[in-house]
Amino acid sequence: MANVVGYEERDPDTTRHMCSGYPRFVLHDFNRRLAQHFQVERGLEDRELWLTCSSRMADALVAELGGDASRVDCDGIAGVSHHIDADVFLQAKTYLQNTGGFLSSRAAEDALVARGEIPEQAEELAPIEDATRIIKSVLVDAHAGARTEDILLAPSGMNAFHGAWRSLADLQAERGRTVWIQLGWLYLDTIAQLRRFTATPADYVYLTDVNDLEALQAAVDAAGTRLGGLVTEVPTNPLVQTADIARVSAIVHATGGRVVLDPTLVSPFNIRLLEHSDVVVNSLTKYAANEGDVIAGSVIINPHGPDAAALRDRISQRLDPVYPRDLQRLAAQIPHYEATVRQTNKTAIQVVEFLRQHPAVDRVWWSLQPDTADNFAKIARRSDSIGSMVSFTVNRTLAEVYDRLPLPKGPSFGMRHTLICPFIYLAHYDLITSDAGQAELSAGGIPPDLLRLSVGTEPAEDIIAALATGLD
Mean pLDDT value across residues 331-355: 97
Cis peptide before 235 (omega within 30 of 0): yes
CATH numeric code, 337-471: 3.90.1150.10
| From-to residues of CATH 3.90.1150.10 in the chain | 337-471
Q: What is the mean pLDDT of the chain?
A: 96
pLDDT at 411: 86
pLDDT over threshold 90, residue 306:
yes
Q: Judge if pTM exceeds 0.85.
A: yes
Mean pLDDT value across residues 264-274: 97
Q: What is the dihedral of CA 252, 253, 259, 264, to 10 degrees?
A: 90
d(CA 33, CA 291) in angstroms, rounded, equals 25
| From-to residues of CATH 3.40.640.10 in the chain | 128-334
Rounded to a whole number of angstroms, the distance between the first and last alpha carbons of the chain is: 18
pLDDT at 243: 98
Could you tell me which of 453, 466, 456, 462 has the C-alpha nearest to residue 422? 453
Q: Which amino acid is at 148?
A: T
pLDDT at 399: 96
pLDDT tens-digit map of 227-261: 999 999 999 999 999 999 999 999 999 999 999 99
d(CA 50, CA 79) in angstroms, rounded, equals 5
pLDDT over threshold 90, residue 154:
yes
Strand, coil or helix: what is 364?
strand
The sheet with strand 151-154 has its strands ordered as: 151-154, 297-301, 279-283, 258-262, 227-233, 179-183, 204-207
pLDDT at 178: 98
% of the chain surpassing 90 pLDDT? 96
Q: How confident is the model at residue 23 (pLDDT cuts 50, 70, 90)?
A: confident
Q: Which residues contact 372 (CB under 8 A, 6 or more apart)?
A: 210, 211, 235, 241, 242, 243
pLDDT over threshold 90, residue 86:
yes
d(CA 215, CA 217) in angstroms, rounded, equals 5
Q: Which residues contact 416 (CB under 8 A, 6 or more apart)?
A: 290, 291, 292, 340, 456, 457
d(CA 150, CA 140) in angstroms, rounded, equals 9
Q: How confident is the model at residue 20 (pLDDT cuts 50, 70, 90)?
A: confident
d(CA 147, CA 403) in angstroms, rounded, equals 46
CA angle 367, 369, 372 (to 5 degrees): 80
Q: How confident is the model at residue 18 (pLDDT cuts 50, 70, 90)?
A: confident
pLDDT tens-digit map of 175-222: 999 999 999 999 989 999 999 999 999 999 999 999 999 999 999 999
d(CA 79, CA 61) in angstroms, rounded, equals 9
Strands (E), 107-196: 151-154, 179-183
Beta partners for 392?
Answer: 364, 451
pLDDT over threshold 90, residue 34:
yes
CATH numeric code, 128-334: 3.40.640.10
Q: Which residues contact 285 (CB under 8 A, 6 or more apart)?
A: 156, 157, 294, 295, 296, 297, 412, 414
pLDDT tens-digit map of 91-142: 999 999 999 999 999 999 999 999 999 999 999 999 999 999 999 999 999 9
